[in-house]
Amino acid sequence: MNFQKRSPCGRLGISDVGQEVQVVGWVDALRDHGVVLFVHVRDRSGIVQVVFSPEIAPETCEQASSLKTEYCIAVIGRVIEREKGTENPGLDTGQIEIMASDLTILSSSKPLPFPISEKAMVTGTGAAGTGAVAEDIRLQYRYLDLRRPSLQDNFMKRHRIAKSVRDFLDERGFLEVETPVLTKSTPEGARDYLVPSRVHPGEFYALPQSPQLFKQLLMISGFERYFQIVKCYRDEDLRPNRQPEFTQIDIEASFIDEEFIYELIEELVVRMFRIGGSELPRPFPRMTYQEAMDTTGSDRPDLRFGLRFIEATDIFKNTQYTIFKQILKRNGHIKGINVKGSSDTLSKNVLQNEYAKQIVPGFGAKGMTWMRVIDGKLESNIVQFFSEEEQQAILQRFAAENGDVLLMIADPSYQVVTSALGMLRLHIANRLDLIPNTYYPVWVTDFPLFDPSEEGVTSCHHPFTSPDRTDFDPTNVEELLSLRSRAYDIVVNGEELGGGSIRIHDTNLQHKIFKALGLTQSEIEEKFGFFLTALEYGAPPHGGIALGMDRVVSMILGTASIRDVIAFPKNRSAFCPLTKAPSPVARAQLAELGLLNLGGEQVLPGAEQEGDLLEHLSWVSRIGISENERSTINAALQRAAHLAEVANDYARDEEPLYSVIEVSHIVRDGNEARNSRFAANGELLKNAPAQKGDYFKTANILE
C-alpha cells in the first residue's frame, strides 16, 4: 500500500465526488445495518464516513464485519454524495461518504478502557464522550485520550499559538537561545528538583525554575533581545492548576524600560488570543498593587465585573456600635461592597444565616455586617445602632439605592478584611452570575520589593528585581518594607499569566539587596559569585518577563485545566499514572551515584534529643518547655512509663479479654461513607487563611 497517495479524512468534500481516494486512520465508530456497514474513520484532520456494501465489494464487506473501534485501517474507495436527508451536519465531511472497494487492517485494538469517539454517526444522537471517566484513568491511557479530536484540536491550536509567538518576536529582533537544563541550585522561591552527578559523587545539578540568571548573562553578553519557549521545573506544594514541569515564554531585552515591555507584551498577547477567536481591547489598563489590594483584595484582580471595595473606616470613627468601636480602637479597618439590585435574591435569611454565620467565617473573618436599602432607608438587624449621620454617610458613600445590598467586613487586620472581602466578592459574583464571558486584561504594577519574614525580609519576586529607589538602608527593615519594585504582572480574569521586572545591573546595588536579605558574603559568593563577577563587566540596563505558556493556552482555549493542553501531564499529586513516575530505583544506581550513604556520619536533626525522653517529645511536638515546667512534666512521664510497664506485665500473664459489645463505628453512625456537615458548611477548616474553590490554604507545620 502506497501511503503517499492517502487523502486526509477531514479534508474531503463535494469537490472530491467521483474520485477514488485512499484514507487511513482509526475506526471511530461503527453502525451495522445487517447488510451494509457504516464506519467512521478518523485521522488527525477529521472524520469521514466509509460504507461497506456487499453489492460493491462482497469480500471487502465480509472482511469489514470483523472491525472494532480503534482498529487502525486503510481504505480505498470512491467518494459519493450522500442522499438528501442523510447528511451529517456534525461532521465537516457530512455531505459525502466513501464507498469502499478495498480494506486493509493495519493493526487491531484491545477493548477500550473508555470511549474515545466524540462524534455521533446519526444526527440527533450523542457520542459517549469521556466526561464520566476518572482523570487518572485518562492519564494512565493518555495515548488513547490524546486520540480524541477535541484534545488534538487543543494541541493544533497550541502549536499555532507557539508559532505566532516565535514569528512575532522574530519580527521584533529577538533571538531564540537555549539555556542549560542542568544548572546550579539557586533560591528563587520554590524548591529545586535536584539531579545527582555520577562524575562528581555527592554533588548535584538542579533543574531550572526559570532561566533567570542565564538570560541576564545573555544581556551582559550583548545579545540585547532574547527569548525562549522553555521547560521549567518547580517542586512546589500541590495546587489544582499547577504542574511540576511547565513551559514558559521567556523574554529579556537590553536598553529598555517598563513601557517597552508593556507595548511588546500587549501586542504579543493580543495575537495569541486572536488565534483562539478572541480580540482583546488595547491598551491594557494598569493598576498598582496597592490599588488592587484596596479595591479587590487580590494582586490578581478579576475586573470583568464591579463589586469594588468601598472604604468605610472613617464613617464610623465616632460610632457607638460596640463591635466597630472595639475594632477601630485597635486601628482596624472597615470595607464593604454594594451588590446592586440584589435584595430579592439575597434575602435576610441568606445574608444572616448563610453568609454572616457560615460563608464569611469560612473566609477567615469573624463575621459580616449586612444592610439592605428599602424605601430609601437602611434595613438590617443592627441598623438601630448607627446614628442618622452614619446611615446617611453609608448611603452616600456606597451610592446605595432601593434594592441594593451592602456587605461590610471589619477587623483589626487589614489583611483579613481585604482577603475575606475579596473571596466574598468572587463568591457573590459567581452566585449571582455577574461575571460576563469575556476577557479583561490588566497590568498590576508597583509591587512591594520585600515581604516581611521571621528573620527580616524576603524578596517579593526575586532578588534581581530593581527597586524604585537606591538610597535605602539595607539594615532598616521598616524602610525595606516601604520600597516598591519595578516589577509588573499581566493578569487576565483573575489569573496571573506572566510577570517580570526591570533588573538590577549595578553590582553595588545587587550587593545591597543581598545584604538586606541577610545573606553573608560567603553565601553570596557560593550562590551568585559567577553572576556578580559578570555584572562587573559593563552590564547594560535590562529587563524582561515570562508568560506561562500552559496557562495562557488553557485560558485562550477555555479548557477546564492546564492538563488539557499538556501532552503528558502529571496528576494533582505530581504523579504520572502512565509511566508510574516518580518511582524507586535500584540500589546499584544509587551506589553508582554515591547516594547510599550521602551525608556520611552527619547527625540527623533532632538526633541529639533522642537520649532524653522529655527533649525528644518536645522536639517532635514542636513545643518549648520552660525550666520551671520540666520537673512536673518529667514526673508525669515517669508515672506514664511505670503504668505502661505494669500494663505490659499484666498482658503477658493474663488471657486476652473479649468484648461482648457489638462492634460499631465510634466516629459516625451507620456503615456508609458521607461528607462531614462541617466540611459542607465550611466549619471544618474555617481558620484556614485562604480558600480557592474547594481547596484550603493551610499553614506549613514542617518544612
What pLDDT digit, counting tens, does each position of 426-449 carry?
999 999 999 999 999 999 999 999
Q: Which residue blocks in 285-402 are alpha helix, DSSP H?
A: 289-296, 322-329, 348-349, 360-362, 388-397
Cα–Cα distance, 602 to 64 (Å, whole number) = 69
pLDDT at position 189 is: 62
Cα–Cα distance, 136 to 576 (Å, whole number) = 9
| pTM listed for this prediction | 0.81
pLDDT at position 404 is: 96
Residue type, 306: G
Superfamily holding 442-539: Bira Bifunctional Protein; Domain 2 (3.30.930.10)
Query: Is 501:443 a contact under the CB 8 Å cutoff?
Result: no
Residue 646: pLDDT band (50, 70, 90) is confident
Q: What is the DSSP letter of 14?
A: G
By percentage, how much of the chain surpasses pLDDT 70?
Answer: 88
- Distance of alpha carbon 484 from the chain centroid: 26
pLDDT at position 228 is: 98
Q: What is the DSSP letter of 139?
A: H
Cα–Cα distance, 416 to 565 (Å, whole number) = 36
Protein fold of 305-435: Gyrase A; domain 2 (3.30.1360)
Superfamily holding 152-282+549-565: Bira Bifunctional Protein; Domain 2 (3.30.930.10)
No. of helices (H) and no. of strands (E), the chain: 20, 24
Residue 637: pLDDT band (50, 70, 90) is confident
Query: Is 31:121 a contact under the CB 8 Å cutoff?
Result: yes
Return the C-alpha torsion angle 83, 84, 87, 89, nearest 10.
160
Indicate if the pLDDT at residue 5 is higher than 80: yes
Query: Is 486:470 a contact under the CB 8 Å cutoff?
Result: no
The H or E element that residue 480 is part of is helix 477-482
Residue intervals in the chain for CATH 3.30.1360.30: 305-435
Strands 175-176 and 225-233, how do they pair? parallel
The H or E element that residue 77 is part of is strand 72-81
Task: List Cα–Cα distances, 557 to 90, 150, 244, 276, 553, in angstroms.
Answer: 20, 11, 22, 6, 6
Q: In terms of Cα–Cα distance, which of 355, 357, 309 is closest to 333?
A: 309
Residue intervals in the chain for CATH 2.40.50.140: 3-107
Grid cell for residue 165: 509567538
Cα–Cα distance, 284 to 301 (Å, whole number) = 13
Q: Which residue blocks in 31-110 are alpha helix, DSSP H?
A: 58-64
Q: What is the DSSP letter of 11?
A: G
Residue 657: pLDDT band (50, 70, 90) is low
Query: Is 476:436 a contact under the CB 8 Å cutoff?
Result: no
Task: List Cα–Cα distances, 8 to 19, 40, 74, 161, in angstroms.
Answer: 14, 13, 12, 23
Of 565 and 621, the one with more pLDDT: 565
Of 425 and 619, the one with more pLDDT: 425
pLDDT at position 242 is: 86
Query: Is 309:336 a contact under the CB 8 Å cutoff?
Result: yes
Cα–Cα distance, 115 to 534 (Å, whole number) = 57
- Give 639's contacts (C-beta < 8 A, 6+ positions apart): none
Residue 231: CB atoms within 10 A of its CB come to: 14
Query: How many Cα atoms within 13 Å fall on the side-chain side of residue 521?
Result: 0
Say whether the peptide bond before residue 149 is cis (omega within 30 degrees of 0). no
Cα–Cα distance, 323 to 330 (Å, whole number) = 11
Its CATH class, for the domain covering 3-107, is mainly beta
What residues are paired with 231 via a beta bridge?
Answer: 247
Greatest mean pLDDT among 70-79, 131-140, 458-467 lies in 70-79
Query: Is 516:450 a contact under the CB 8 Å cutoff?
Result: yes
149-207 pLDDT, tens digit per residue, is: 999 999 999 999 999 999 999 999 999 999 999 999 876 567 899 999 999 988 999 99
Indicate if the pLDDT at residue 605 is higher than 80: no
Query: Is 319:383 a contact under the CB 8 Å cutoff?
Result: no
Indicate if the pLDDT at residue 407 is higher than 50: yes
- Residues 101-110 have a mean pLDDT of 97
Residue 610: pLDDT band (50, 70, 90) is low
Sign of CA dihedral 223, 228, 233, 234: positive
pLDDT at position 703 is: 39
Residue 612: pLDDT band (50, 70, 90) is confident
Indicate if the pLDDT at residue 237 is higher than 90: no
Query: Is 161:275 a contact under the CB 8 Å cutoff?
Result: yes
Lowest mean pLDDT among 143-157, 186-200, 456-470, 483-497: 186-200
Cα–Cα distance, 660 to 703 (Å, whole number) = 46
- Residues 409-424 have a mean pLDDT of 96
Residue that has been written with the C-alpha cell 445590598 in this structure: 405
Indicate if the pLDDT at residue 702 is higher than 50: no
pLDDT at position 699 is: 56
Q: What is the DSSP letter of 357?
A: I
Residue intervals in the chain for CATH 3.30.930.10: 152-282+549-565, 442-539
522: exposed, middle or buried (C-beta count within 10 Å: 0-12, 13-18, 19+)? exposed
- Residues 294-311 have a mean pLDDT of 96
Indicate if the pLDDT at residue 110 is higher than 90: yes
Query: Is 259:383 a contact under the CB 8 Å cutoff?
Result: no
